[in-house]
């Protein structure tokens, strides 16, 4: 019978990141600026969602929708 191993979400993310780094050795020599930005943004947004989702009925998609509305107001499109 196989033993179950319990790991935290943080440990799992580290393992997945390590696998992804090892699998992408043939790609660009330096870190991809888009990938780096996405990882940073995802980290921050996940923290914001966790902090505020209780105010939105524990619905992470409601928080994401609110963030989108805020961004639209902050970065309003202007004609050229």
Domain layout of the chain by residue ranges: 45-80
The confidence score (pLDDT) of residue 23 equals 58
Distance (Å, whole) CA 56 – CA 67: 12
Question: Confidence band (pLDDT; 50, 70, 90) for 24?
Answer: low
Q: What would the mean pLDDT of 4-8 be, rounded to a whole number?
A: 72
Contact, 46 vs 36, CB < 8 A? Answer: no
Q: Report the pLDDT value the prediction gives residue 56, as an integer from 0 to 100.
A: 93
What pLDDT does residue 73 have?
85
């Amino acid at each position: 019978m196989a033993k179950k191993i319990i790991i935290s979400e943080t440990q799992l993310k580290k393992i997945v990141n390590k696998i992804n780094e090892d699998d992408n050795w043939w790609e660009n020599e330096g870190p991809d600026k888009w990938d780096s930005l996405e990882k940073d943004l995802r980290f921050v947004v996940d923290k914001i969602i966790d902090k505020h989702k209780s105010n939105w009925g524990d619905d992470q998609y409601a928080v994401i929708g609110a963030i989108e509305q805020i961004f639209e107001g902050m970065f309003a499109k202007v004609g050229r």
